[in-house]
């Protein structure tokens, strides 16, 4: 069968890509505990949705999930890397074979095997549970246990997105779920480096060392306590006071934290910061190009993200392998911006706002009330004002903002996304006519083709070429304005070592207190 | 009875020598004088704001962010390089109107409610106070959060939210005062000689309960301005880049360690305004207090 | 009195019903859709068409596709059976989530109230007794300062000074109940933050009421009878001044309970205010509704207590 042949090639490709992932892990493994014992306290920026690690939720939740229940795969530098799934391969038919790591047991002694993973996926898919990650398995038709440690997932079709999504899936003990039923949430059991002790909603989660963790000698500390501290300024004070060892989401306090002798821990810059145009309203490419030239990207990077971000002119982060530096850039150039607007027929009015046919160049701009987004939006309003564009900023609750942007009830909007994957498929920019997320209200079947083809290919060169063609076209029409890419930023006390970021989430198994 | 005469004197006594009494008080009490001057200054600044402000309050200058006060920028610049002095000056319009309008609306409805309920009593009281209870049953700031969530964060919606949450307290306070005044001899006497409810309320009851209402209104105006700031802190206030004082303080909190001046000046503006409003309220209380003339 | 309490309790029912109804309507007409948070956070990029299907299924399951009045009736029906529903996010019964937070907020509010009464009334009386002295001016100024500082800012400053600088108290959190040896240290700063503004208000009200009362004939009489000044002030003065103070106290309790949301956010204190705020912004309908219901019940109860105290303190007010 030709399929087998293809599969072999694919496996080869995957092995190559896995090599890199494995090397990331090998590096992690080499990090021994410089000291053992102690009670580690970590500040989260939000409460968990649930202590059940399969519930998922915000990044704060995933930090907890990873401590108590291991993930199927983790995000490596170039796509998913092995974790509980030690290796895998896939066919273009959508058949995935997972080799489950051996010698792993849950905190209650239940061994981890293919059956346990199958149980977990079925639990996610059970509509009664209303687990949000169930949506990732919508195209799964069969889950077959091949042998003790091999699981086969049969999807209706193949795409690169599926395995990438598995970086969100935590595995919990089937025995505990079956025995405890609805009470499982009060005493969750996973395979993670830490065991559950207690959860006080909105306040703290206390975990203790898992003596039988599958990574020998880990974790280093005796206990791990997550505290919920929503205010960034307060997380900083707690760090300085020494009552918290590590705090997540410290991007606005970099300067203050450094001057207080704290250490900053960052990821590669993969979080996206960009401007969406509603393409059904802002139809003139000259105007969009003018906006691209009017944005002082460096100023936003410096002022909102304290120089932790890097400027980027198209939606692909430089740390993603499909990045290409030949795609057109739009340097900050007010003269060029003004010239383009003049050329488009928008004449500067007496009040500093441009006009055309008696109509003002005035746009609706919704913004989320999350501080960094609000601030970046404020700056963009100021920059547009410089070239005679009036943006009417309307700050709203995050969900309301999501609704407006998704529904196309805006002219221009600043958008931010944490970038929890390192595969290029996620950076396509909301322009695909069939995607659930199409805030630009745009559709071009010719452009869609590039994305569709890139999603079902495993050939990196081919995919990179497809994305290049796609973005060359997108940026030639300036369908959007990219601003920068940001990292996730955490801060730790100087005596704390070995705090790691794994794909934007914090990992504490190798963390120790000197 | 003597109380009737006293009541008559009271109402007349309030109107006539108000300005003279106020002047006398200012003469005696320097704090009152200062607060009067500050309030007058504030009104002037509010009216002339666009001509006083040296810079455009929205102009961002990334080369000059977080500058400490200088000759060019009296209050320094904020994290986006905007001139804080200009923002505070222009912001006086927004903050004062938020405080004043919200309290005026809240007072209008609240006092009317309280007067009617307290005076007529019985079923009317019961029904009206249950309506107030519904409003009271929401914690103020959460009520404001709901209003802003539903309607959006514009200046007028923030005013509306703060006004709604002023209504019940005014109503209850008024009702309580009316209840204690109503039992006074001169009111029962006035009632017994057939004075109609409306004039009775306006002429005899209202002046006698105005002291606590005025005190409360001044405090409430402070609360409203602070409430606006709190909504901003919770992410539900006036939309930036509006130079509203409360918003400036709540946005500036992220820089309170490294650049305290960003939050100092708008904070000071709120504090001084609230302080002078309160001192003025005190003075008005002493001057308006009907019993005061017997001191 | 018993009959009065019964009657007032009966009237509380329509109040509570209106609150439930208003909150329900407000939450459902507010823009924003909880489904956005019920799907994976990065779901915008899901290329799978299955998302729409999944979304529709979820909506049906949660009853969010029903007409509003049907949704309300089923919610109200469940309430009558004391079923407060499950949070859309955690899938846990609301009561499980709410009760611990409710307890936390009550503890915080009561302590803040205690601080505020202690400071407010004693300093207020002092201020009235020494009216127009330098002490009075100082008190007035400090009281006003307390009232005029945004509480989130005050909270951060207190934290900087007393937690980071002096190390007297832990910066934030609530590892145990406030009424335990471990927990009391954690509640001091939030309670102070919350109580200071209220204390300022009480100082002013107490002062002005006391000034009024101290001029009354019967107080003068008491004085002229040669009673000790302290006895005059406290027995005759304060008792009469208490009536309006109690009204203000009732109102203050309300604003403390509401203001707690700020102290809770700053001090990472797991209270009902922060829970409600989070629920509102997540559009977690059952959580907002039940949270508001709990708070509303408390308010109604407090108002009832205030009215009863009121009737008790001022026998002139007779209730039919």
- Interchain CB distance below 8 Å, C19 and B130: no
Asked if the structure places residue B30 within a domain, the reply is yes
Long-range contacts (CB closer than 8 Å, 24 or more residues apart) made by C10-16:
C11/B126, C11/B130, C11/B133, C12/B133, C12/C300, C12/C304, C14/B130, C15/B130, C15/B133, C15/B134, C15/B137, C15/C296, C15/C300, C16/B137, C16/C293, C16/C296, C16/C297, C16/C300
**Is the CB of B130 inside 8 Å of chain C's CB atoms?**
yes
Q: Is any Cβ of chain B less than 8 angstroms from the Cβ of C113?
A: no
C29 in contact with chain A, both atoms CB, cutoff 8 A: no
CATH code, A105: 3.90.76.10
Interchain pair B230, C152: CB under 8 A = yes
Q: Per-residue pLDDT averaged across A457-479, rounded? A: 92
Shortest distance between the Cα of B241 and any Cα of chain A, in A, equals 6
Q: Single out the residue in A158, A188, A218 at which a domain terminates.
A: A188
Provide mean pLDDT across the span A211-217: 90
Q: Which residue of A has its CA nearest to C38?
A: A132
Is A57 close to C159, i.e. CB distance below 8 A? Answer: no
pLDDT greater than 60 at residue A10: no
- The boundaries of the domain holding residue B96 are 17-56+74-288
pLDDT at A31: 65
Contact A387, A340 (CB under 8 A): no
The pLDDT confidence band at residue C1, using thresholds 50, 70 and 90, is low
C-alpha–C-alpha distance, residues C223 and B126, integer Å: 40
Indicate the residue of A168, A228, A399 with minimum beta-carbon distance to C282: A399
Asked if A379 has any chain C CB less than 8 Å from its own CB, the reply is no
Q: What's the mean pLDDT in B249-277?
A: 83
Give CA–CA dist A101/A109, Å, rounded: 16
Q: Say whether both A368 and A481 belong to one domain.
A: yes
Task: Note whether C47 contacts A55, CB cutoff 8 Å.
Answer: no
A239: Cβ contacts below 8 Å, ≥ 6 apart: A43, A245, A247, A257, A260, A262, A491, A492, A493
Nearest CB among A255, A378, A397 relative to B240 is that of A378
Cβ distance B291 to C215 less than 8 Å, yes or no, reads yes
Percent of chain B clearing pLDDT 90 (strictly above) = 8
**How far off is chain B from A379, nearest CA to CA, in Å?**
7
CATH number at residue B232: 1.10.3720.10
Q: Are A232 and A250 in contact (CB under 8 A)?
A: yes
What does the pLDDT look like over B114-164, one tens digit per residue?
Answer: 888 888 888 888 888 878 877 777 767 777 888 888 888 888 888 998 898
- B vs C, Cβ pairs < 8 A, gives 158
Asked if C266 is an interface residue toward chain A (Cβ–Cβ < 8 A), one would say yes
Of A28, A26, A22, give the one whose Cα is nearest residue A500: A28
**Scanning every residue of chain B, which has its alpha carbon at the shortest distance from the alpha carbon of A299?**
B62
Q: Cβ contact (<8 Å) for B257 and A382?
A: no
- Whether residue A368 is found in the same domain as residue A458: yes
Do the Cβ atoms of A394 and B80 come within 8 Å?
A: no
C292 and chain B: CB distance < 8 Å anywhere? yes
Residues of A in contact with B241 (CB under 8 A): 378, 381-382, 393
- Please, which residues bridge with residue A390 across strands? A362
Say if residues A121 and A143 touch (Cβ distance below 8 Å).
Answer: yes
Higher pLDDT: A129 or C194? It is: C194
Closest residue in chain A to residue B146, using alpha carbons only: A397
User: Do A422 and A347 share a structural domain?
Assistant: yes
- pLDDT at A286 exceeding the cut of 70: yes
Q: Which of residues 5-64 of A touch C (CB under 8 A)?
A: 47-50, 55-59
At residue C48, the pLDDT reads 57
Closest CA–CA distance from residue C309 to any residue of chain A (Å): 36
Same domain, A290 and A159: no
DSSP string of C123-145, one letter each residue: HHHHHHHTTTSHHHHHHHHHHHH
In a domain, B1, yes or no: no
Per-residue confidence (pLDDT) for residue C47, from 0 to 100: 56
pLDDT digits (tens, 9 = 90+) for C278-300: 888 888 888 888 888 888 888 88
The pLDDT mean for chain C works out to: 82
Helix (H) or strand (E) run with residue C44 in it: none
Chain B residues touching residue C311 (CB < 8 angstroms): none
With an 8 Å Cβ cutoff, is A436 touching chain C? yes
Residues A347 and A409 in one domain: yes
In a mutational test of the A interface, the residue from C44, C98, C104 whose CB has the highest number of chain A CBs within 10 Å is C44
Q: How many domains does chain B have?
A: 1
Q: How confident is the model at residue B294 (pLDDT cuts 50, 70, 90)?
A: very low
Residue A256, both tokens: 């203050």
Whole-number pLDDT of residue A343: 95
Residue A8 class from Cβ within 10 Å (0-12 exposed, 13-18 middle, 19+ buried)?
exposed
CA distance A138 to chain C (A): 6
Counting as contact any 3 or more CB pairs under 8 A, the partners of C are A, B
User: Are residues B274 and C150, on separate chains, in Cβ contact within 8 Å?
Assistant: no
Segments forming the whole domain that contains residue A238: 31-68+192-266+492-514
Question: Do residue B149 and residue C26 have CB atoms under 8 angstroms apart?
Answer: yes
A54, A10: one domain: no
Cα–Cα dist A98/A152, whole Å: 6
Q: What is the pLDDT of residue C241?
A: 76
- Position A29 pLDDT exceeds 50: no
| C245: chain B residues, CB-CB within 8 Å | none
A242 closest CA partner among A496, A63, A489, A511 = A496
Nearest-Cα residue of chain A relative to residue C153? A233
* ipTM for the whole complex: 0.85
Query: What is the total count of domains within chain A?
Result: 3
Chains touching chain A at 3 or more Cβ pairs under 8 angstroms? B, C
CATH, range C98-319: 1.10.3720.10
CB-based contact C151 B169, cutoff 8 Å: no
Domain ranges for chain C, please list them: 98-319
Is a pLDDT exceeding 90 seen at residue C189?
Answer: yes
Asked if C90 is an interface residue toward chain A (Cβ–Cβ < 8 A), one would say yes
Residue B103, pLDDT score? 92
Mean pLDDT of A29-56: 86
Residues in A touching C267 (Cβ below 8 Å): 234
Instruction: Judge whether B213 lies within some domain.
Output: yes
Q: Name chain B contacts of C15, Cβ cutoff 8 Å.
A: 130, 133-134, 137
Instruction: Reply yes or no on whether the pLDDT at A250 is more than 60.
Output: yes
Give the chain B residue nearest A233 (alpha carbons).
Answer: B254
> Lowest-confidence range among A42-46, A203-207, B117-121, B285-289?
B285-289
Q: Which two tokens stand for residue A73?
A: 């795969």
Name the maximum alpha-carbon separation found in chain C: 90
**Pair (A256, A172) in one structural domain:** no
Residue that is last in its domain, among A124, A156, A188:
A188
How close is the nearest chain A Cα to the Cα of B238, in Å?
8
- A221: pLDDT confidence band, cut at 50, 70 and 90? very high
For residues A317 and A333, membership in a common domain is answered with: yes
C43 touches chain A (CB under 8 A): yes
At residue C51, does pLDDT exceed 80?
Answer: no
Q: Judged by CB atoms within 8 Å, which residues 271-310 of C form the interface with A?
A: 271, 274-275, 278, 280-283
Contacts of B231 in chain A (CB under 8 A): none
**CATH code for the domain of A280:** 3.10.105.10
**pLDDT, greater one: C31 or B7:** C31
A287 and A420 co-located in one domain: yes
Q: Looking at the structure, do residues A308 and A213 belong to the same domain, yes or no?
A: no
Q: Which residues of B touch A303 (CB under 8 A)?
A: 62, 65, 79-80
Same domain, A228 and A360: no
pLDDT at residue number B200 = 76
Task: Please indicate whether, in this complex, the C-beta atoms of C48 and A135 are within 8 angstroms of each other.
Answer: yes
Give the tens place of pLDDT for each residue, B214-253: 777 877 887 788 888 788 888 788 888 888 888 888 888 7
Q: Does C229 have pLDDT greater than 50?
A: yes
Name the residue among C23, C208, C215 with its Cβ closest to that of B146.
C23
> Contact at 8 Å (CB) between C63 and C71?
yes
- Residue numbers in A near B154 (CB within 8 A): 394
- What would the mean pLDDT of A322-341 be, rounded to a whole number? 94
- Tell me the shortest Cα–Cα distance from A25 to chain C, in angstroms: 25
Residue B130 lies in a domain: yes
Q: Is residue B260 part of a domain?
A: yes
Q: Which of B150, B270, B279 faces C30 most closely, judged by CB atoms?
A: B150
Mean pLDDT of C38-46: 59
Whether B120 maps to a domain, the answer reads yes
Give the separation between CA B271 and CA C154, rounded to whole angstroms: 12
Whether B134 is covered by a domain: the verdict is yes
Closest CA to A171 of A221, A218, A216, A107: A107
> Does a structural domain hold residue B294?
no
In terms of CA atoms, which chain B residue is nearest residue A395? Answer: B239
Residues A380 and A311 in one domain: yes
């Amino acid at each position: 069968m030709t399929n087998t042949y293809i599969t072999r090639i694919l496996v080869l490709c995957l092995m190559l890509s896995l090599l890199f992932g494995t090397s990331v892990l090998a590096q992690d493994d080499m990090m021994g505990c410089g000291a053992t014992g102690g009670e580690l306290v970590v500040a989260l920026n939000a409460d968990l949705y649930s202590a059940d690690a399969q519930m998922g939720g915000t990044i704060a939740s995933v930090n907890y999930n990873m401590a108590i229940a291991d993930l199927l795969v983790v995000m490596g530098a170039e796509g998913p890397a092995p974790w509980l799934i030690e290796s895998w391969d896939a066919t273009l038919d959508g058949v995935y074979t997972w080799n489950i790591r051996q010698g792993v047991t849950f905190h209650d002694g239940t061994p981890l095997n293919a059956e346990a993973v199958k149980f977990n996926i079925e639990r996610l898919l059970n509509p009664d549970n209303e687990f949000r990650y169930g949506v990732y398995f919508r195209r799964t038709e069969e889950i077959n246990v091949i042998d003790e440690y091999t699981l086969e997932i049969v999807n209706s079709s193949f795409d690169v997105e599926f395995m990438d999504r598995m970086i969100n899936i935590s595995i919990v003990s089937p025995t505990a779920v079956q025995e405890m039923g609805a009470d499982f949430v009060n005493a969750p059991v996973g395979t993670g480096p830490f065991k559950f002790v207690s959860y006080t909603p909105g306040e703290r989660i206390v975990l203790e060392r898992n003596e039988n963790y599958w990574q020998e000698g880990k974790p280093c500390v005796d206990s791990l306590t997550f505290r919920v501290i929503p205010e960034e300024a307060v997380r900083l004070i707690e760090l300085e006071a020494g009552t918290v060892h590590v705090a997540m989401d410290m991007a606005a306090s970099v300067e203050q934290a450094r001057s207080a002798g704290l250490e900053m821990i960052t990821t590669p810059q993969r979080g996206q910061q960009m401007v969406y145009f509603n393409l059904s309203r802002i139809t003139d490419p000259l105007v969009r190009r003018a906006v691209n030239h009017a944005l002082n990207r460096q100023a936003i990077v410096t002022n909102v993200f304290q120089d932790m971000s890097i400027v980027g002119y198209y939606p692909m982060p430089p740390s993603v392998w499909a990045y290409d530096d030949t795609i057109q850039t739009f340097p900050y150039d007010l003269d060029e911006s003004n010239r383009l607007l003049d050329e488009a027929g928008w004449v500067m009015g007496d009040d500093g706002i441009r006009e055309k046919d008696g109509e003002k160049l005035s746009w609706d701009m919704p913004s989320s009330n999350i501080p960094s987004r609000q601030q970046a939006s404020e700056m963009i309003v100021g920059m547009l004002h410089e070239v005679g564009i009036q943006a009417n900023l309307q700050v709203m609750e995050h969900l309301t903002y999501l609704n407006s942007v998704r529904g196309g009830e805006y002219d221009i909007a600043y958008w931010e996304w944490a970038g929890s994957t390192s595969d290029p498929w996620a950076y396509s920019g909301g322009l695909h006519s069939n995607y659930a997320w199409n805030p630009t209200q745009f559709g071009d079947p010719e452009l869609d083709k590039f994305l569709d083809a890139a999603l079902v290919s495993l050939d990196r060169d081919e995919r990179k070429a497809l994305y290049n063609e796609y973005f060359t076209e997108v940026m030639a029409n300036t369908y959007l304005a990219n601003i920068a890419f940001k990292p996730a930023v955490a801060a730790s006390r100087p005596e704390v070592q070995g705090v790691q970021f794994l794909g934007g989430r914090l990992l504490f198994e190798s963390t120790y207190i000197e | 009875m003597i109380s009737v005469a006293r009541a008559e004197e009271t109402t007349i006594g309030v109107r006539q020598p108000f300005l003279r009494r106020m002047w006398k008080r200012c003469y005696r009490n320097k704090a009152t004088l200062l607060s009067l001057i500050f309030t007058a200054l504030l009104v002037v600044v509010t009216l002339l704001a666009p001509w006083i402000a040296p810079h455009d309050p929205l102009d961002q200058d990334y080369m000059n962010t977080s500058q400490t006060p200088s000759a060019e920028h009296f209050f320094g610049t904020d994290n986006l390089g905007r001139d804080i002095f200009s923002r505070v000056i222009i912001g006086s319009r927004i903050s004062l109107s938020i405080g004043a309008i919200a309290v005026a609306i809240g007072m209008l409805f609240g006092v009317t409610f309280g007067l009617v309920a307290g005076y007529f009593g019985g079923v009317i009281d019961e029904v009206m106070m249950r309506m107030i209870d519904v409003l009271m049953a929401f914690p103020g700031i959460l009520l404001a959060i709901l209003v802003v969530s539903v309607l959006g964060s514009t200046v007028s919606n923030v005013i509306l939210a703060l006004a709604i949450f002023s209504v019940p307290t005014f109503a209850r306070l008024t009702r309580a005062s009316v209840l204690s005044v109503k039992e006074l001899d001169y009111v029962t006497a006035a009632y017994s000689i057939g004075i109609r409810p409306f004039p009775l309320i306006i002429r005899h009851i209202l002046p006698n309960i105005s002291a606590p209402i005025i005190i409360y209104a001044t405090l409430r105006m402070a609360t409203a301005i602070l409430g606006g700031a709190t909504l901003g802190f919770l992410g539900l206030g006036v939309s930036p880049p509006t130079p509203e004082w409360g918003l400036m303080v709540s946005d500036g909190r992220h820089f309170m360690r490294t650049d305290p001046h960003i939050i100092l000046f708008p904070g000071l503006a709120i504090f001084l305004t609230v302080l002078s409003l309160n001192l003025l309220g005190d003075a008005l209380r002493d001057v308006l207090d009907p019993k005061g003339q017997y001191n | 009195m018993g009959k009065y309490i019964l009657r007032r309790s009966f009237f509380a029912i329509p109040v509570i019903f209106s609150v439930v109804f208003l909150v329900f309507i407000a939450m459902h007409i507010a823009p924003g859709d909880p489904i956005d948070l019920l799907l994976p956070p990065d779901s915008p990029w899901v290329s799978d068409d299955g998302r729409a299907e999944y979304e529709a299924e979820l909506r049906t399951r949660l009853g969010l596709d029903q007409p509003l009045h049907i949704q309300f009736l089923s919610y109200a029906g469940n309430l009558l059976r004391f079923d407060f529903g499950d949070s859309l996010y955690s899938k846990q019964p609301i009561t499980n989530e709410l009760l611990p937070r409710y307890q936390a907020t009550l503890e915080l509010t009561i302590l803040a109230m205690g601080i505020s009464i202690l400071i407010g009334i004693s300093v207020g009386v002092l201020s009235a007794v020494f009216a127009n002295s330098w002490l009075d001016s100082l008190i007035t100024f400090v009281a006003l300062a307390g009232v005029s500082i945004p509480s989130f800012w005050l909270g951060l400053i207190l934290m900087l000074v007393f937690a980071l600088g002096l190390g007297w108290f832990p910066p934030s959190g609530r590892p145990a109940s406030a009424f335990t040896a471990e927990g009391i240290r954690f509640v001091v700063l939030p309670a102070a933050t919350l109580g200071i503004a209220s204390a300022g208000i009480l100082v002013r009200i107490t002062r002005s009421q006391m000034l009024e009362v101290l001029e009354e004939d019967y107080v003068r009489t008491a004085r002229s009878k040669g009673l000790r000044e302290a006895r005059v002030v406290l027995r005759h003065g304060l008792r009469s001044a208490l009536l309006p103070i109690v009204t203000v106290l009732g109102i203050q309790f309300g604003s403390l309970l509401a203001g707690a949301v700020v102290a809770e956010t700053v001090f990472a204190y797991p209270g009902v205010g922060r829970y409600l705020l989070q629920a509102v912004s997540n559009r977690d309908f059952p959580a907002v509704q039940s949270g508001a219901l709990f708070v509303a019940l408390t308010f109604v109860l407090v108002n009832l207590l205030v009215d009863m105290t009121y009737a008790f303190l001022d026998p002139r007010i007779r209730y039919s």
